[in-house]
Each structure stands twice: as C-alpha cells, then as structure tokens.
C-alpha cells in the first residue's frame, strides 16, 4: 500500500488547465442558448464578480464570490447571471477543490480565449467568503447614465480612461435581454466572436435613438438591428474616451493587447495572491 502522508490537495498548473478544458468542452457542447454560446454571459459573471471592488476600503472584487448570496445575487445589475453560475456548477462538482471565486474568474478567462479573444493570463488564490462580505448595491455601472458616471464607477476600481474604454470593448460579445436589463439586442453581427467590432461600429455607424416603449437605447441607421447603450454612446461623446475608441476601431492588435492587460487587472482587484506566476491556458483549438 501507499504509506505516503496525505496532506491537503495542492493543485498544479496542469490541474487548472483541466478545469479550463472542462469549461471549454462545456461551452462547445451547450450551444442551444442565445446566439449559440454561454461564453458572453460567463464573461459578464467574471466582470460583475470583480467590478464591485472599491480601492479605498479594499472591499468587493472577485475574492469571495459573494454573488452566490442574496442580497448581492438580487442586485438589479446581476439579473440573469444565475444562468452563468448554474452553467459552472457541473465544473465545480467535477473539481470540488477549486473555489467559486477562482472558478468564476477562470470561466471568464476561458470564455474570452475560446471566443477568439486574446489570451488572459490567470492566477489562482481567491477564497470564498460568506454572506457578510456581500457588497452594497450600486457599485456596478448603470447603462442609462453618462461619461461622469463611467469615470466615477471605474476610477473607484482604480482604472484610467484608456482602461475604461478597453474594458467596455467586451460589448463585442453577447446581447441585452429585455427580461434582464430591459435593453434589447446585440452590439454587432458576431456576438459570439471576440473582435474590435464594437469600436468599429461605434466610430463608423450612424446611431439613432430607438423608437420603442423600453429604456432609451440607440440603433444603427443602416440595419436597425444592432444596439448601443447610453453609456456606450458616451464613449464617443467624450473627447478623452473617443480617441481610444477611434484607435481601437483601427487597430485590432492594440485592442486585444490592452484588453488582455486590463481584464487581467480587473479579475485580480483586491485579491491577496501568494504567487506572481500566472498561467497561460492552452485554448481548445491549439494541439
């Protein structure tokens, strides 16, 4: 028999790659949802888990996964994210040693990579916290507002103008749902592929206010099928933001590089890591 002492399980990089592979496999298998992928909603889960960070108090952020609990799970901004949390439950069951907070951020990194985005170097070290660590409502952005609100919210996390614009470029992915946010529709024609299309369309299309009974949103004059939120339009109204929109619209490589850096930073806000060593996961299409 094996007489070696059995300490607590210490996962290696290979173990985290197995978790990545399982999420990637599930993304490839479960295509009967929205535009054919759970990837966008996984990205949104990772963002809303992380974007509650407050640099002054050091509260919030991805460490804790407190969106498992009410009241945070019921905050208006988190409507619909149960879909993403439930999608990851079988992965948690298969790898019970990983924390929810590591799993949700790894899921976001995996979705970006599997949908054709840049690699998102990721490191483990988050610990789940209990309901007492839930953040107050109002820390995530409100789509009906303007550039001042965007700067208030994202500077509280510690981001500058360039980083704010790069992050919001994630709206290349997914769509709005009337039964979640009240808004409706996708931002571009390939909502399951990570591209700089959000910026290209924002810079080049003519956007007009949508005529409907729902909240104020904008639609492209050419087809009338795409959408922009008031906060998206603020990125071309504000000079400080607009120069980055135009740069990313023209230079996909710059967007991919700068998005990767800032998404890595977002996922790590407030986490007391024990290692500086990040894992660059292999995507499912690399051999």
Interaction site with ligand DDH (CB under 6 A): 40-41, 43-44, 47, 80, 141, 143, 150, 167-168, 170-171, 173-177, 180-181, 183, 229, 231, 263
Residue number, 109 or 249, with CB nearest to ligand DDH: 109
Residue 215 CB, shortest distance to ligand DDH, in Å, is 9
* Nearer of residues 24 and 172 to ligand DDH, judged by Cβ: 172
CA distance to 8, 145, 227, 234, 238, per residue, from 148 (Å)? 48, 8, 21, 9, 10
Closest CA to 101 of 159, 38, 168, 53: 53
Closest listed residue to residue 135, CA positions, set 160, 149, 153: 153
What is the closest distance, in whole angstroms, from the C-beta atom of residue 7 to ligand DDH in the complex?
37
Q: How far is the CB of 35 from ligand DDH (least distance, A)?
A: 8
202 burial type by CB count under 10 A (0-12 exposed, 13-18 middle, 19+ buried) = buried
- Least distance to ligand DDH from the beta carbon of 262, Å? 8
For the beta carbon of residue 271, count every other beta carbon within 10 angstroms: 21
Among the listed residues 47, 104, 122, 187, the single catalytic one is: 187
Q: Which of 48, 75, 171, 244 is catalytic?
A: 48
CB of 168 to ligand DDH, least distance (A): 5
The DSSP-derived string for 32-64 is: -STTT-SHHHHHHHHHHHHTT-BTTTTB-SSTT
Q: Which residue is nearest to ligand DDH (CB)?
A: 174
Cβ proximity to ligand DDH: between 13 and 162 the closer is 162
DSSP-derived secondary structure letter, 122: B
Residue 24 or 176 having the CB closest to ligand DDH: 176
Partners of 185 in the beta sheet? 176
Cβ closer to ligand DDH: 219 or 231? 231
- Can 187 be counted among the known catalytic residues? yes
Q: Which residue(s) pair with 228 in the sheet?
A: 218
Strand, coil or helix: 271: coil
What's the closest the beta carbon of residue 175 comes to ligand DDH, in angstroms?
A: 5
> Strand 175-176 and strand 185-186: pairing?
antiparallel
Q: Is 104 a catalytic residue?
A: no
Tokens standing for 270?
A: 């407030």
Q: Which is nearer to ligand DDH, 229 or 269 (CB)?
A: 229
Distance CA 257, CA 222 (A): 30
Tell me which residues are annotated as active site.
Answer: 48, 187
């Amino acid at each position: 028999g094996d007489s070696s002492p059995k300490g607590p399980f210490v996962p290696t990089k290979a173990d985290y790659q197995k978790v990545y592979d399982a999420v990637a496999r599930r993304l490839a298998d479960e295509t009967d949802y929205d535009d054919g992928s759970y990837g966008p909603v996984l990205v949104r889960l990772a963002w809303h888990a992380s974007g509650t960070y407050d640099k002054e108090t050091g509260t919030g952020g991805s460490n804790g996964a407190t969106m498992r609990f009410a009241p945070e799970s019921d905050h208006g901004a988190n409507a619909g994210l149960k879909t993403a949390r439930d999608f990851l439950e079988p992965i948690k069951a298969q790898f019970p040693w990983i924390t929810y907070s590591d799993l949700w951020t790894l899921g976001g990194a995996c979705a970006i990579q599997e949908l054709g985005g840049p690699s998102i170097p990721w490191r483990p070290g988050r610990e789940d916290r209990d309901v007492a660590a839930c953040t107050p409502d109002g820390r995530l952005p409100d789509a009906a507002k303007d550039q001042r609100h965007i700067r208030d919210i994202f500077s509280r996390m510690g981001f500058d103008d360039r980083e704010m614009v790069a992050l919001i470029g994630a709206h290349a992915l997914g769509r709005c749902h009337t039964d979640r946010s009240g808004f409706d529709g996708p931002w571009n024609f390939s909502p399951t592929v990570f591209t700089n299309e959000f910026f290209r369309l924002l810079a080049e299309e003519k956007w007009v206010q949508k005529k409907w009974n729902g909240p104020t949103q904008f639609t492209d004059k050419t087809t009338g099928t795409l959408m922009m939120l008031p906060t998206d339009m603020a990125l071309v109204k504000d000079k400080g933001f607009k120069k980055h929109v135009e740069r990313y619209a023209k230079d996909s490589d710059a967007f991919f590089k700068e998005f990767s850096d800032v998404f890595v930073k977002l996922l790590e806000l407030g986490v007391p890591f024990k290692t500086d060593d990040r894992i660059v996961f292999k995507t499912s299409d690399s051999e």
